[in-house]
Amino acid sequence: MTLQEFRNQMPITEECIYFQTGTASPTPGEVLEAVDRIMRFQSRYGPANPEMREQLYPQVFEAKSKLASLLNTSSEELAWVTNTTQGMQLIVRGLSWKEGDEVVISSAEHISSRVMWKGLAQRYGMTVTVVPTGETDETFLDALKKQMTARTRLISISHVSTLDGRRLPVTAVSALAREQGIPTLIDGAQAIGQFPVDLREIGCDFYTASGHKWLFGPVGLGFVYVARPQLSEISPYIIPEPEDSADYQRYIRPLSAGARIELGTSSSALPIGLGTAVDLVSTIGLETIEAHTSGLVEQLRTGLEAIDEVEFVTPEPQVVKGSALLSFVLRERDADAIQHIVRTMLERHRIVIKHQQEICGIRLSPACFNTDQEVAVFLRSFQEMMAA
């Protein structure tokens, strides 16, 4: 599938210029059709109909297998969750904590993660240590190494910072932590679907992400990865420990991430829809997607550099590796002014961008369905607004 063929599946391209995939992506036509087909099938024949289940369950399992293949892991190490935030919560709730424990995080974490860690510290009397990301990966790794102690229970960082689009050195962090026997939890919300992600190569213990951003899946489904050695350590819900009894073998699934994390009735349509999205992304090729979005970000950066008020928050690509997220502030513009600009760009020019509240600035997140022409329209419109 070419990028143009993928773009043709996006009705939103007829309505506006959408630079907000980093928050939530539009849904491609094939994904919509897959979800609709399954829900209509269940409505017609009944979701508890054994014949229906015999047809749908293999498709749900296949969807997880497709995701596992994309990430170079096994289906047994993946569990469905609602989104990244829930995935983070379930992993943290599934670990044992005590007073005096320490969690080490980066200064570039998502607000939902920062709130979670604050709540955990309050509940257990533990410490959350924030490590500045620094100007380079080497600076960050040196600072992180200094903060790792005998009390460090977990290291949790983002693969790609939602604030500035910087890729953090998750493979190096995982290796450092492993040397000290410390588990790692990676927030991959802004990574999966942007570029190739190999969980075996990264070597982390836990990884979680959403399907509704760069994978172009339906809203309401994400995943958690639990490395096989950690499966018996995670227990976010009240379930019995593995045993050899007949009752256990009859009612409890074999040890897997799904058995530990997926409980109760869940949607068949959403996993099958996400499996369709994985097919689309895989057919285009993650390398092709990364190359295209990198080009769009480079054009955006070059055009915005001509505006005196613009000050980039996203580091220079020559210094650290970036992504399809580009953040900047406007000198002497407060939050109200930024919100006005964002609203005006939509109302006057039909361009969707984000007010990034944490930096009192703007974030652009062009995706593989966006084009050079859309970048040019944005730059012209934005430059006119700044000059007015």
The pLDDT of residue 233 is 87
Classify domain 3-19+285-387 by CATH architecture: Alpha-Beta Complex (3.90)
* Cβ 316 vs Cβ 327: under 8 Å: no
CA dihedral 109, 115, 119, 122 (to 10 degrees): 80
CATH architecture of the domain with residue range 32-281: 3-Layer(aba) Sandwich (3.40)
Yes or no: say if 152 and 127 are a contact pair by the CB < 8 Å rule: no
Distance of CA 381 to the CA centre of its chain: 30
Burial grade of 348 (CB within 10 A; 0-12, 13-18, 19 or more): exposed
Q: How far apart are CA 66 and CA 57, in angstroms?
A: 14
CA 260, CA 236: separation in Å to the nearest integer? Answer: 7
- Pair 193, 289: CB distance under 8 Å: yes
Rg (the chain; Cα; Å): 22
Residue 244's pLDDT is: 64
Distance of CA 183 to the CA centre of its chain: 20
pLDDT under 70 in the chain at which residues?
241-253
Is there a contact between 168 and 108 (Cβ–Cβ < 8 Å)? Answer: yes
Residue 238, pLDDT score:
80
DSSP state of 151: T
Looking at residue 251, what is its pLDDT? 57
Angle between the N-to-C axes of helices 111-124 and 84-94, in degrees from 0 to 180, rounded to the nearest 10:
20
Tell me the pLDDT tens digit for each residue of 14-68: 999 999 999 999 999 999 999 999 999 988 988 888 888 888 899 999 999 999 9
- Strand 152-158, strand 127-131: pairing: unpaired
Enumerate the domain spans of the chain: 3-19+285-387, 32-281
Report the relative pairing of strands 326-330 and 361-364 from DSSP bridges: antiparallel
pLDDT of amino acid 250: 59
